[in-house]
Amino acid sequence: MKPKTIHIQDVTLRDGNQALKRPWTIDEKIEVFDLLVELNVDGIEVGFPSSNETEFHTCQVLSKRAPKGKPIAALSRANQNEIAVTWEAIQKADCPRMHIVYPVSDFSIKHVLKISEKEVLQKIRNSISFARSIVGPGIEIQFSGEHFGDAIENFAFTKEAFLTAIEAGANIINLPNTVERYRPMVFVNMVKEIKDVVKDKAIISIHTHNDLGMATATSVESVYVGAEQIEVALNGLGERAGNTNLYETAIALHQNGENLNINFQRIYPTAKRISELTGIPIGEKTPIIGEDIFSHRSGIHQDGVTKTLHQSKGAYRTFSPEFVGRMDKETISFTNQSGHKAIEFLLHQRGIQVSKEGIHHLFSLAKSISSRENNREITEAELVALSQSLLTYQ
Ligand SMILES: [Zn+2]
């Protein structure tokens, strides 16, 4: 199933911020908001206004700052007081969106809420109807069934809960994998079943967490069974192991031929700034933004890389560094795993010509130094120095 539209909804300022060791100040939140606008996400969830006064004020400030037509959401629990406060916080946005959450899984209903399923339906109906009565007919209301991904045991009830929300006035049905427990396909099949029941009565949205490291896969595949909105976070921030990573999701969809509004060149600068603003370093091997992801060290890979370096499709490259706004390039480095090609390539780049025998000699020399010194990497500068001593010697 080809997706009709894909709306990238960012929740960094709400789900991301609430899980930080030091939540952002209002100035920091404004900066993150502006980064999101520059990145051109389709919608922004700005916070949880009823949690405290600062949060309320911040949501008001960000709502007024929002560009025309950009949906600005805020989260509320399913009670009238909170809904009223939430609406007050975001109503100045050009395009405000009310987001109400309530649990739907059997486990949560029995062990956390400790009420009957009938009461759950009542709570959903009453809260959404109330929200609709205060926001008016033209405003979007999103309903999240918390723990949707854990609602396998009471799935028939869960479908009823979402239909109740739609009848009461919700236009967007958000399906969270609040805690990632099962395989992506288990979740994706549940999304498909909900889409079959909801049809075009509401937009289906996905909100996944990364407890097992599969949030991106789950979100991306959900798009192909009818989800039209994906909730994501910058640098994969969020509760526990985080929310679905914006960059991975956007690049994966782009690589599969989908059109997104994201300004891809803003990805890397945004990621670096978010790392500074959170104090959370970016891992060297982190997809899309990790420092080491364009390095090639093994002989076979280096051969493929050098032969396809200037082609749009690289033998060992899925997207180019510049596409995501990086200043670095694919790099060839030398370790005891590397081949002759690495040396030839590195010297050639510096304009140093060495004969085939010379390359062979340098290769043996560099490999023996590496092996002698705990298999360390031999830097480009060292290879150049070695080649010069060799040339002098010759
Ligand atoms: Zn969440």
CA distances (Å), 150 to each of 35, 107, 190, 233, 291, in order? 33, 8, 10, 22, 36
179 Cα to the center of ligand 1, angstroms: 8
* Res 392: pLDDT: 62
Tokens coding 308 = 């396809």
Look at residue 365 and give its three-state secondary structure.
helix
Find the 243 Cα to ligand 1 centroid distance in Å: 6
pLDDT of amino acid 320:
95
Residue 82 confidence (pLDDT) above 80: yes
With b meaning 16 or more CB within 10 Å and e meaning fewer, what string describes 200-210? eebbbbbbbbb
**pLDDT for position 315:** 92
- Expressed in angstroms and rounded, the spacing between residue 2 Cα and the centre of ligand 1 is 26
Report how far ligand 1's centroid is from the alpha carbon of 348 (Å).
50
Sequential DSSP letters for 237-295: -SSTT-BPBHHHHHHHHHHTT------GGGHHHHHHHHHHHHT-PPPTT-TTT-TTTTE
Identity of the residue numbered 267: I
> Is the pLDDT at 60 greater than 60, yes or no?
yes
Dump pLDDT digits (tens) for 299-333. Answer: 899 899 989 988 989 999 999 999 999 999 888 88
Distance between Cα 21 and ligand 1 center (Å): 16
Distance in Å, CA 44 to ligand 1 centroid: 14
Residue ranges of domains in the chain, CATH in brackets: 7-278 (3.20.20.70), 295-393 (no CATH)
Query: Residue type at 79?
Result: N
* Residue 361: strand, helix, or coil: helix
CA atoms within 13 A on the CB side of 146: 16
**Quick one: angle between helices 53-65 and 26-39, nearest 10?**
30
111 is in an annotated binding site: no
Q: How far is the CA of 93 from the centre of ligand 1 (A)?
A: 23
Q: Is the pLDDT of residue 391 over 90?
A: no
Residue 242 Cα to ligand 1 midpoint, Å, equals 8
Ligand 1 centre to CA of 239 (Å) is 7
Instruction: Report the pLDDT value the prediction gives residue 304, as an integer from 0 to 100.
Output: 92
Tell me the C-alpha distance between 391 and 394, whole Å. 5
Return the closest-CA partner of residue 267 out of 256, 257, 282: 282
Per-residue pLDDT for 376 more than 60?
yes
CB 73 within 8 A of CB 48: no
Ligand 1 centroid – CA 386 distance (Å): 54
As a whole number, mean pLDDT of residues 38-64 equals: 98
Q: How confident is the model at residue 1 (pLDDT cuts 50, 70, 90)?
A: confident
pLDDT value, residue 286: 98
Protein residues with C-beta less than 5 angstroms from the ion ligand 1: 15
For the whole model, what pTM was predicted?
0.95
Pairing of strands 203-208, 331-332: unpaired
CA of 16 to the centre of ligand 1 (A): 8
The whole-number average pLDDT for the span 182-210 is 98
Computed over every residue of the chain, the mean pLDDT equals: 95
For residue 394, pLDDT beyond 60: no
pLDDT in tens, 237-285: 999 999 999 999 999 999 999 999 999 999 999 999 999 999 999 999 9
> Poorest-confidence range of 50-59, 166-175, 336-345?
336-345
Distance 144 CA to ligand 1 centre (A): 10
3-state secondary structure of 76: strand
What is the pLDDT confidence band of residue 145, given thresholds at 50, 70 and 90?
very high
Task: Tell how far the Cα of 68 is from the centroid of ligand 1, in angstroms.
Answer: 26
Average pLDDT over residues 183-194: 98
Q: Which amino acid is at 276?
A: E
* Residue 207, annotated as binding a ligand: yes
- Note the pLDDT tens digit of each residue in 148-167: 999 999 999 999 999 999 99
Residue 386 has pLDDT above 60, yes or no: yes
Mean pLDDT of 325-345: 91
Q: Would you place residue 353 in the very low, low, confident or very high pLDDT band (cuts 50, 70, 90)?
A: confident
pLDDT (0 to 100) of residue 179:
97
pLDDT confidence of 177, banded at 50, 70, 90?
very high
Instruction: Report the C-alpha gap between 257 and 9 in whole angstroms.
Output: 19
> Is the per-residue pLDDT at 393 higher than 60?
no
Residue 298 pLDDT greater than 80, yes or no: yes
Q: Does the annotation place 340 within a ligand binding site? A: no
Q: How far is the CA of 349 from the centre of ligand 1 (A)?
A: 47
Residue range 183-196: average pLDDT?
98
Is the pLDDT at 195 greater than 70? The verdict is yes
Note whether 170 and 127 are within 8 A (CB): no
CA nearest neighbour of 229 among 262, 253, 205: 205
Question: Of 287, 286, 288, 230, whose CA–CA distance to 260 is shortest?
Answer: 230
CB 203 within 8 A of CB 173: yes
The pLDDT of residue 390 is: 76
How close is the Cα of 208 to the center of ligand 1, in Å?
A: 7
pLDDT the model gives residue 3: 85
Percentage of residues in the chain with pLDDT exceeding 90?
Answer: 86
CA of 367 to the centre of ligand 1 (A): 49
Report CA(91)–ligand 1 centroid distance (Å).
Answer: 23
Instruction: Kindly provide the residue ranges of all beta strands, DSSP E only, lying in the chain, ordered along the sequence.
Output: 7-10, 43-47, 71-77, 95-103, 140-146, 172-177, 203-208, 229-232, 295-296, 331-332
Query: How far is the centre of ligand 1, averaged over its atoms, from the C-alpha of 18 (Å)?
Result: 10
pLDDT band at 381 (very low <50, low <70, confident <90, very high): confident
